[in-house]
Structure 1
Amino acid sequence: MNSKKWIKILLTLCALAVGFVGGVNYLVDPFDVFHTKILKEQFQINERFIKIEFLEKNHNKFDSYMFGSCRIGTTPPDVLNQYMNDANFYNFTISSANLYDYLLHLQYFIKKEYPLKNLYLEIDIDNMDNYGRNESDYLRKFHPYVLNQSLYSYYISYLTGFFPFNIRGKIELNIKRDDITTYSLETGIWGKPIKEKEIQENPLKFISEEPSFHIKNTRLIKNSSKLENLKALSEIVNLSKKNNINLIVFTTPYNKNMMDNFILNDYLEFLKEISSVINFYDFTGYNSITTNNTNYYEPSHYRENVGRLIAAKIFNDKSIDVPKDFGVLVTKDNINEHLENLRKQVEDYELEKNLK
């Protein structure tokens, strides 16, 4: 067989392989980019793409936004609408978001002249160890409009990519239907209906059977991205002032097991850096909410009731019983006292844990 025939065979096989991969990617649609909906339950979705796609057509329905990682995603916008006259919030929760995501999207919203009166911004403590976004992370790939790139090339990249884990995960979820996540594009929120039912019916059983509550973690996460985060947060504050945006900043109340991942001095340093840029509400630490596992689906994600308590504390809603140890308004004036209180809180928690 001559070389020309070998080349033709090779090219044919390559074309068939590309066609097969593209067909699987399109039909299974692991990130819900193509919206084929052949498999109903979604294992993962690229919220950065889907929500910009939605807002391009619907941004005039909203004038306020909730910015945060997936942790803020359980809080319905109506929780905030009730506290702010005439506000209409959209929950722009996006997976594993950090300050780079918030800055880039805020810049885009302003550039596109989205109505924007209020910005309710949640900062995760683990943001101190990361900044930016990896281009190879297809679950978290920005909408091309945000980066001023081609939509056509974007779709091609999702057709020709290799996503065995994501494809397998979506297929298995639609067969087993054991940990379904629901998504509401109209409000931006997500939910865990099966886990929610289990917690409500038998919280002690749920806690005992959720393995992530029983893992012993080590304090390894450092404050390694301080310069990038400080610069981004400062830019967000300046853009908010320049564009008359009411900016409200608060920190994520991680479950105690998640809190066990952070090096104490680095965690406290990160909080001090935030306070140097803006006043914020701090819900981190080991308090009556974060040490109660029934408030969480697992150590990383709190339930809707916690989001309601956060808002009640921030907006001073006396009709809701917010624990006294949950949430502190932190300023430049009280930051040192607050950090000392947190240090003692952590040390007391560690001592009690070691005595068990």
Structure 2
Amino acid sequence: MQGFRLGSIFGFEIRIDLSWLLIFFLVLWTLSAGLFPEDYPGLANATYFVMGLVATLLFFASLLAHELSHSFVARAKGIPVEGITLFIFGGVSRTRMDAETPGDEFQIAGVGPLTSVVLAALFGLIWYVSKNTGWSVVVTGIASYLASINLVLAIFNMLPGFPLDGGRVFRSIIWKYTGDREKATKIASTGGKWLGYLLIALGFWQLFNSSVLSGLWFILIGWFLYNAAEASYEEVLLRTSLKGVRAQEIMTPYPETVSPNLTLQELVDKYFLSRRYQSFPVTQNSHPVGIVTLNQIKDIPREEWIYQTVRDIMIPTDNGVTARPEEQMSQVLQKMQNSGVRRVLVTQNGLLKGIITANDVASWLQRHRDFGQAA
């Protein structure tokens, strides 16, 4: 996910995915131009906008609280949490590893919907007090919306489809009784796919009944859930296959390197056009200083290639694109994802030992499966 850093709360980095901006303005428009004017007629347009803005911000604060609850419990269970990312369909806690026991999984997953229920009750109480003591309709309207939306979030998240919280709770129960996390993940992921199918079907049904906007949303959410369920299962298989594997077992040793002083035109003509590689480590005096990829060059106007150098566009090694030979692949995969280039340089004592790309991982996995089947 691409986006920007918002800040840090209790040691958890908070990031905003660019897709979040779409849902933010969509929710703001829906509330200020639709829901609030319909439920509370006769107010000024500026009042509806303020109500919509406050409700939207508190809605995403509720989502953040939901994810923070996951992160707090995960941290208490000894699972490193790098931060939280808010995106188009809510949020996700970025952890470096999965829960080690079904009990931990149950608690980490279950606390999120519980938090949403508590928030629903809190806003419901504010609505009740506001309505019965004559507070402004602005407060009443915002509290009513937040109480209902948090309750909906809790119910939706508890549906038994992985990777929803309910799907994770479902997985933890199956894991507990079978002792097989992979099998439990497969069953829970299948539940997530079928739930995705159901939401898509419901969306098409609403389209044919003239509920175009809600129908499109159900289709979009169903499609997202189906793909998320499939991707989550594949990620578990990947982590299982790579458990105990170290970087040196997968890396391509001693790759060809380039100088940081090369112009981009020289890099294209002498390397990318005559080699099959999509990236090159950058070294100076035999020491790795960064990595440069073909996609980075594509973003530079062609007329600038003659005077811009590799040093100008490379990703420096201090940006998290290096790993040690003995480092676990679970950690390396996280670095590959965070770097944005899906590659890491393997270094030892300041010297380049190898490179790991997505193709290296895929090739290793294929060989692992081939030999496993042959055995």
Q: Normalised by the shorter chain, which TM-score bucket?
A: under 0.3
**Comparing both chains, which one has the higher relative contact order based on Cα–Cα distances under 8 Å and sequence gaps of 6 or more?**
1
Relative to its length, the structure with more helix (as a share) is 2
